[in-house]
Each structure stands twice: as structure tokens, then as C-alpha cells.
A and B are shown apart, each in its own frame.
Chain A
Amino acid sequence: MNERRIHGPAIELDGVSLTLGATRILENVSFSVAAGSIHCVIGANGGGKTSLVRSMLGQMPHTGRIQIQWHDNRVVGYVPQVLDFDKTLPVTVNDFMAMACQRRPVFLGVSKSRRQEIDEVLERLGLAGKGRYKLGTLSGGERQRVLFAQALIPEPALLVLDEPMTGLDVAGHDLIERSIVEFAQAGGTVVWINHDIVQVKEIADTVTYVDREVRLQGNAREVLASGVAAGLFPSLANALPAT
């Protein structure tokens, strides 16, 4: 069994609501995430999942209470949905990693203190030797792996993932999934927007179904086995393996 060396925070949301313009995005959302667990946020497109996660990150003018009970390490590793940027920009993978992880101006090169860490993380995610590649020339799946890689430096206590598996091939999918599971086993907390219901059932500890308001929540296996879940996911019965 892995030694738990990361002190992930517990998270509690209480009556979180969000209105942008005339649109009510979230309505009285409450749930809690245990320290060192994998919590998946699921739901239909436009249901407010990304807005919920960005509220947790302090980027939305929400109401209600979001409490993150930090320990010594307060680092958040965040993987946004997509890296929407001009693909012709002269930015290599190493440049991107360096600009995210170090203070020394990136045009002076990767700092010695970060070099090894960056190389190790890239190798772990199957990107060894890609450091000098231009970010814009990578495939969508490779770029997604780079996005995930930056979230691991410096070592976070909380991973917030907004559909990190988008566009990944099977190998990339497995590598990232394994990294997430290892991170949680080491004690880190994971909040993960995920559309892959099979994966949610297999590796998530808890789950919340959000469609403006909380429609379902609790233990992942129990929630997804419920009749209500089958109603929310018409294909659920076929997609899930028999338990």
C-alpha cells in the first residue's frame, strides 16, 4: 500500500449559486469532498460543471460558501478544458512548462532547479524527447498531456481537472488515469469533471451530478447504480459493466 505523503484538503460547498448576466448558472449547490479522495463532477453539457469548478478556484462571482481545508501545502494543480492559443506562436513544450513553473524569464531557459522535475514529468506522461517541439505542432492529445504535466509541478495538494482526457488516445488515457489514481493514493484530493461514466464508476470515490443544481450525489458506485442515474444517463445500463 502506498504511503500517504500528500496532505490533500477536504472541500465543502454550501449553498453555492452563480448568476451571470440574466442566466442562473448554479442554484444552491452543496456537497463535500473528502481529503485524499477522487470526486467526479458529471452532468450534461451546459449544466454548469466548469462554472462550478471555476467558482471553487475563485474565478466566478458566486454566492454561498466554499471552504477548502488546507494543510501545509496549498498548491492547486489545474488542467483547463483546452489550451486555446495561437498555434503558430513560437512556444515549445519546455517553454510552456517553464513559464508555468518558474519565475526566471522563460527566454533565459529552464532553470536548473526545475529542469529535472520537468523532464521527469514529461517522461512519465509519455512525452520524453518532446520538450523542444513547438506546442502548436503537437497533436491535440499530446497537448492535453502537456497541460496535465504542468499541473504536477510543483507537487499539488489538490488537482482540479476539467475534462483532461479530451482527445487522448488509449495510451495517453491510461497514463493520465494512472497518474490521477497514484496522486489520490498518495493522499492528494482530486476534483474532476468527467464525462466517462465507466471510468467514474471504476475510480471515483464520490460523484456529484450537476445540472444547474445538484441532481445526484454520493458514493460513485451507489449513485451510478441507482435508478435515478439510469434516468439521467439513458445509455447507462448498457455502458456500465455488470457489478
Chain B
Amino acid sequence: MDWFYDIPRQFLIGLADEGIIHYTFLYEFVVNGFLCAFVIGPLLGGIGTMVVVKRMAFFSQAIGNAALTGVAVGVIIGESYTAPYMSMFGFCILFGLLLNFSKNRTKMSSDTLIGVFLSISLAIGATTLLWVSARVNTHILDTVMFGSILTVNTTDMNVLLVTAVLTALVALPLYNQMLLGSLNPSLAHVRGVRVHLLEYVFVLLVTILTVACVKIVGAVLVEALLLIPAAAARNLNRSIRGFVLWSIAFSTISCLVGIYAPMRWDLPVPSGGAIILSAATIFLITMGIRMVVPRFREAAL
């Protein structure tokens, strides 16, 4: 796949060489980070709107924590500790499916059940990581938790690209059905929507997205990028169209700024942290606009 990535890589490096863009783009890892940002931004921004509608913000957090256990399992079974994708995907998918199965069986509210699983995943993750910490460079754990574009390689980009294509192919045709299923499951069922099946599909999508973004954004912070741009877009929009398109825009801008700014100004901030801080800044601005501009005024209670 290197030939495929080389086209935009050479283009950006050429621009940097001619002094049109900043010289940091001469570094391949910066260009890789940028390419990933153009995939992660729209992907998490778009799916994030559904996460907000379905009130599943903390589900992704639980999956992020489960990814920590996935890394530990990968180390135990001898996978590459810099990219233990098999273990992360395997464990996180099992974890996500179990969570959704429990939700359907217990009929407990999402926030309660996700809260329970969030704690469980954190406890297991912390325990297993401590257990294997003697066997690996513990710095790699920082990378998994908070993201680092320095370590992004072609394998990571391939995983991200395949995940993005798969998510788009599944989520676009099913978007309306998923939305209707979360607004009124009974009505959706009458309209031929397989509500429970789509819940599992959505859980799987968020799970593989979370795992695919771990290297860039970090397991602990993926949830924030699913949530904050969508929340910011929600502040300013009255329609689904504006909600989704602005969420995608905010998410992409956050990723680009978060990757570029630490390089450009030599800031000691990991990419994941910088991305989320950018998104948080956008959210605060939209909140300010909402508070000040009269057209957003609503009932006090």
C-alpha cells in the first residue's frame, strides 16, 4: 500500500521542500499523521453524531479501556507490542458484544450498564498491564493511552483505512435506520428496521473505530473525539445535516491542528492530548456563541 500513500506524501513533501508549507512536512511521520487526520476526522465526527443521539458517549471510553487489556493480552500471547491489533480487536469486540448483550438482557439503562462495564474494563486493563509491564518498554503504554503520531507506520494506516472504508460502507446505508431505531424502536421495527441487530452493528463499528484510532488519538481519548466535535456541532445546529457536517468539520480541524501545532511550535504535548484540546477549544467557542446569540435562546427550564 506504500505506493498509495506515496502520492499525497510526495505532494506534501514537495510543497514543504519548496517552502510553501512548513518544513516539518519534510518528516514522513508528520505527513502520515496528517493523512490519518483526514481519515479519522470525518470518521469520528460522523459516527460521533450517532454516539450522541444514542447516548453512548461512555461506551467508547469503556472500549478504550478494554484496548488496554487487549494490549496486555497481545504481550502475553507474543504479538508485537507496538501494534497488537489482533488482541485489541479480538478482546474489544468480545467486550463490546458482551456489553450490548447484557444491555438487551437486563433492560438496564445504558448509562448504568456502561458505567459498570467501564469500571470493569479499567480494572482489568490496569491489572493486566501492571502484570505485563515488566516484559515491555512501559513507554509504549503511554502511546496506547494517549496516542503518538511518531509511532504511526504503514500497518497502522492500513488498519485505519480498511476500518474507515468498512465503516462508511456499513454506516451510510444504515444511518437513517439507526437514527430512527434510537428515537423510537417500536416505530423503527414497524418500518422494517432490525433494531437489535443494528445495535450490535453499531457497537461493532464504534469498537473497531476506537481500536483503529488508538495509535493516533490514544485509548483514553478516542471517546472525547467521538463526543466533543458532535457536542460542539449540536450547540450550533437545528438540523441533522448541520449537525453531521459541522461535527465532521470540527473533528477534522481538531485532528489537523492537534497533529500540526505541537510540531510547528515545538510543544511538549502528545498528539492525542493536542487533538482533544483543539476540540475542547472549539466546543467552548460554540458554547459561547450559543449563550450570546439570540437565535439559540431557549426555555430556561
Residues in chain A within 8 A of chain B (CB atoms): 54, 57-59, 76, 78, 80, 83-86, 88-92, 94-96, 98-100, 102-109, 132, 134, 150, 160
Residues of chain A lying within 8 A (CB to CB) of residue B175: 105-107
Known interface pairs A89-B53, A99-B180; A54-B241 also in contact (CB < 8 Å): no
B282-293 CB contact bits vs A (8 Å, 1 = yes)?
000000000000
Q: Is B176 among interface residues, defined by CB-CB distance under 8 A? A: yes
Assess the B239–A95 pair: CB atoms within 8 A.
yes
Known interface pairs A57-B189, A84-B184, A107-B241; A99-B176 also in contact (CB < 8 Å): yes
> Given contacts A59-B189, A90-B238, A106-B240, could you give 19 more A-B pairs where the C-beta distance is less than 8 Å?
A54-B186, A85-B183, A89-B53, A90-B239, A91-B183, A91-B239, A92-B238, A92-B240, A94-B239, A98-B176, A99-B179, A100-B176, A103-B173, A105-B172, A105-B176, A106-B175, A107-B175, A107-B241, A132-B238
In the bound complex, how far is the Cα of B234 from the Cα of A91, in angstroms?
A: 10
Query: For residue B176, which residue of chain A has the nearest CB?
Result: A99
Assess the B190–A78 pair: CB atoms within 8 A.
yes
Assess the A78–B237 pair: CB atoms within 8 A.
no
In the bound complex, how far is the Cα of B53 from the Cα of A201, in angstroms?
A: 42
Assess the B190–A76 pair: CB atoms within 8 A.
yes
Q: How far is the CB of A144 from chain B (nearest CB, A)?
A: 13
Query: For residue A107, which residue of chain B has the nearest CB?
Result: B244
B224-258 CB contact bits vs A (8 Å, 1 = yes)?
00000000001001111111110000000000000
Within B191-240, the residues touching A (CB, 8 Å) are 191, 234, 237-240
Q: How far is the CB of B291 from chain A (nearest CB, A)?
A: 15
Residues of chain B lying within 8 A (CB to CB) of residue A96: 183
Assess the B186–A78 pair: CB atoms within 8 A.
yes
Residues of chain B lying within 8 A (CB to CB) of residue A150: 187
Residues of chain A lying within 8 A (CB to CB) of residue B237: 90
Top 3 nearest A-B pairs (CB, nearest first) are: A107-B244, A78-B190, A105-B175
Known interface pairs A98-B176, A106-B175; A59-B240 also in contact (CB < 8 Å): no
In the bound complex, how far is the Cα of B192 from the Cα of A100, in angstroms?
A: 10
In the bound complex, how far is the Cα of B186 from the Cα of A57, in angstroms?
A: 9
Within B45-84, the residues touching A (CB, 8 Å) are 53, 55
Assess the B187–A92 pair: CB atoms within 8 A.
no
Most buried by B among A84, A88, A105, A132: A105
Q: How far is the CB of B174 from chain A (nearest CB, A)?
A: 9
Most buried by A among B180, B186, B189: B186
